[in-house]
Structure 1
Amino acid sequence: MRRPPSEEWPIAAAMLPFPASQDAPVDTWVDHLAEVAYEGFTEVDVTDSWVRPGDLSPSRLTDLGEALTAVGLDPVALSAIRRSVIDPETGDENLAYSHRTLDAAAELGCRVVSVGLHRPLLPAQRGAFWFWTEQGPVDSTDADTWELAVTRLRELGRHAREVGLVLSLEMYEDTLLGTAESAVRLVHDIGDDAVGLNPDLGNLIRLHRPVEDFQAAVAACLPVSNYWHVKSYFRDEDRASGTVVALPAPMEMGSVSYRQALRTAVEVGYTGPFCVEHYGGDGLSVAARNARYLRRMLAVATGEARATVLRAVGAAR
């Protein structure tokens, strides 16, 4: 795929800041989407914590498409959250839901569907101020579970290809997509060009425990990535006491350098869309700030910024 110029690179807003609105009137959908468009976005990730397109009736799915058109937003992606196809209790149900979601995403004109192996939050997580400070479910790493993940995600990848989509696998702690090594291995074992990674490494750097090096993980994951949820955190570690604290931060201020990460992404040929996320406070405003930062850093990484500076200085001489 051709690398887009920085100003045209698809950067979507996640719908995470908005309340669950599955049964809301269409006007409510338009209200929410108009807020996204007003912040300067032209693309959106139809995050299913907001609306589950795979569970809409045909007429309501048409209504959602018309709401997107009314505000001028391109639904570049759909992210299905916490619907693991290897969940020991709901894996079969989640697999069926994922297939419905692929069909609905194609109907809406999406290009990417992002799925993961993370499960619903546990009670302690739901009760915490920041859910990632409490232990969540942990995937088994036995051979049968691995093979089930490969088989079911390969099945979804085949479906995605048939309806003109790509499938992206979201990285998340304590799942088979919880480390760079495991996530890359899973993509290779699936072995379908329609399946790649969503290297949402923000999910990992926020953990209150030791984590792998961010830039090394970027270098390992980006060659097999096709969509990228991006966000950042302030992270502080006191090794003497073993204390770790992580708080949401705008991307340009967080503890990891996306300037460097985007250089790596461009160098390895990443051309997929981005989705900007933020938890807490006015998440949409921070996401919009993140999108502006991301576009600047893409210009730097692609050499457009250098060319612009040299052209301006040359014209002034």
Structure 2
Amino acid sequence: MAPRKWNRGNWPIAAAMIQYPNTLADGRSVQDQSVEEWFATLADIVDAGFTELDPTDSWIRLADLSSGRLDQFLALTRSLGLAIPAISTARRSVIDPEHGGSHLAYGHRVIDTAAAIGAGSVSFGLFGPLTDAQKKTLWFWTVDGVKNPDDAATWQKAVSRIRELGRHAEELGIELALEMYEDTYLGTAESSVRFVEEVGLANVGINADLGNLIRLHRPVEHWMEMMAKVAPYAKYWHVKNYTRMEDEASGVIVTHPAPLEYGLINYRAAIRMALAHGFESPFLCEHYGGDGLSVSAANRDYLRRILPREQGH
């Protein structure tokens, strides 16, 4: 096996921006904020000790900024010592029954933007917007959301559109990671592998966000069995963890967000499984609830303890 390009000291581990909404309390969008206002938010990321950022598009859509505004954003991140190894998209499915076409066009803009700013990875998903019921509940994953249809034609449409994005990304030297998410065509390990194999491009793999599945209040496959199936296809990886309690007698299942090292998934073992298949992509630290940024920072430090040492050490 060729020497790894990264080790625990320099592996790109980005902060997610899920704690920060796109729409502000005064009704404005983050898209329209001043550089000084962007600075106030990004200062949190720096103060938490991060040197990498994923400008998650639930916070800001870099692909929809003008070239001048994008230059301002990049100048700010550079001044703060923040690199951008990847861009994640959320709830912009290319098979959305109403907006799928526009989401596909947006996906192409995201890939072009990633290339322009030097980000080597992009994460896409096939999950839809939160429903009204999900928005009203404490934890949105405890309520069923939008589901991909059990329809062969829609599956093939999804494969075709992701392949289109993958070929575009391939031309620019960018990898695509498809996010595992319940009730989508990447809602199980087996389905995720089948989908990626049908896309059939070496630069298109799986965002092994098993946290999205183990948090569900329903029976799910054991995380280790899922990881064994998706590890050969793992690319840009969103990492988060949950506790999970199952009462066999009553059938009650309860989950709660947890720091990486304390939850159900043993990330030391999961990462080693991916590394055994040559995994060399960035990580993104996410956490819901409380001070999610601080928990993500602790998760980053945990990853740096368990990732490979320098070659020969």
TM-score range, shorter chain: over 0.9
The AA in structure 2 aligned to 1:91 is G
Contact 2:179 2:186 in 1 (8 A): yes
| Among candidates 202, 205, 219, match of residue 210 of structure 1 | 219
In the TM superposition, what is the alpha-carbon distance from 1:303 to its structure 2 partner? 9.1
- The gaps in structure 2 that reach 5 residues or longer are 23-29
Partners of 2:59 and 2:40 lie apart in 1 by 13
1:292 to 298, 301, 306: 301
Residue in 2 that maps onto 1:177: 186
Aligned mates of 1:193, 1:266 — CA distance in 2: 17
In structure 1, runs of 5+ residues without a counterpart are 309-317
Matched, 1:234 2:236: no
User: Is 1:39 aligned to residue 48 of structure 2?
Assistant: yes
Residues 297 and 175 of structure 1, relative CA distance in 2, 3 Å threshold: same
In the aligned structure 2, how far is the partner of 1:186 from the partner of 1:19? 31
* Displacement of 1:102: 1.3
State TM-score, norm by structure 1.
Answer: 0.92
Asked if the contact 1:2–1:271 (Cα under 8 Å) also holds between the matched residues in 2, the reply is no
Give 1:113's aligned residue: 122
Deviation of the 1:163 alpha carbon:
2.5
Task: Tell me which residue corresponds to 1:188.
Answer: 197
Q: 1:2 to 1:78 in 2, by over 3 A?
A: farther
Counterpart residue number, 2:146: 137
Cα deviations across residues 146-199 of structure 1 (Å, max 9, x unaligned)? 110111000001111223311111110000011101111111111111211111
Q: Does 1:18 align with 2:24?
A: no
Q: Give the superposition deviation at 1:30.
A: 1.8
Q: Deviations over 1:54-103 (max 9, x none)?
A: 11111111111111111111100100100000111211111111111111
Measured against aligned partners, the alpha-carbon deviations of 1:35-59 in whole angstroms (never above 9, x if no partner) come to 2122221111110011001111111
Q: 2:259 maps to which residue?
A: 250
CA contact (8 A) 1:11 1:291 kept: yes
2:172 paired with 1:163? yes
**Corresponding residue for 2:156?**
147
Q: Partner of 1:274 in structure 2? A: 283
Please tell me whether residue 76 in structure 1 is matched to residue 78 in structure 2. no
Per-residue CA deviation, residues 250-300 of structure 1 (Å, 9 max, x unaligned), is 01111221121122122222111111100011011000000001111114x
- Which TM-score applies when normalising by structure 2? 0.93
Of 61-70 and 279-288, the range deviating more from structure 2: 61-70
* Higher fraction of helix: 1
For 1:118, give the aligned amino acid: F
Question: Is this contact kept in 2: 1:82–1:117, CA < 8 A?
Answer: yes
Question: How much is the aligned-residue C-alpha RMSD, in angstroms?
Answer: 1.5
In the alignment, the residues of structure 1 paired with residue 41 and residue 169 of structure 2 have an alpha-carbon distance, to the nearest angstrom, of: 28
Please state how far the C-alpha of 1:2 moved relative to its aligned partner.
Answer: 4.7
One-letter amino acid of the structure 2 residue matched with residue 122 of structure 1: T
Write the letter of the residue equivalent to 2:246. Answer: E
Cα pair 1:132 1:207 within 8 Å, conserved: yes
Query: How many pairs were matched up?
Result: 304
Instruction: Give the distance between the partners of 1:218 and 1:109, measured in 2 at CA.
Output: 29
CA distance in 1, matches of 2:64, 2:154: 27
Look up the SS of the partner of 1:188 in the other structure. Answer: helix
Residue 313 of structure 1: aligned partner: none
8 Å contact from structure 1 (residues 84, 116) kept in 2 = yes
- Write out the 4+ residue segments of structure 1 that deviate beyond 2 Å after TM superposition: none
One-letter code of the match for 2:64? Answer: D
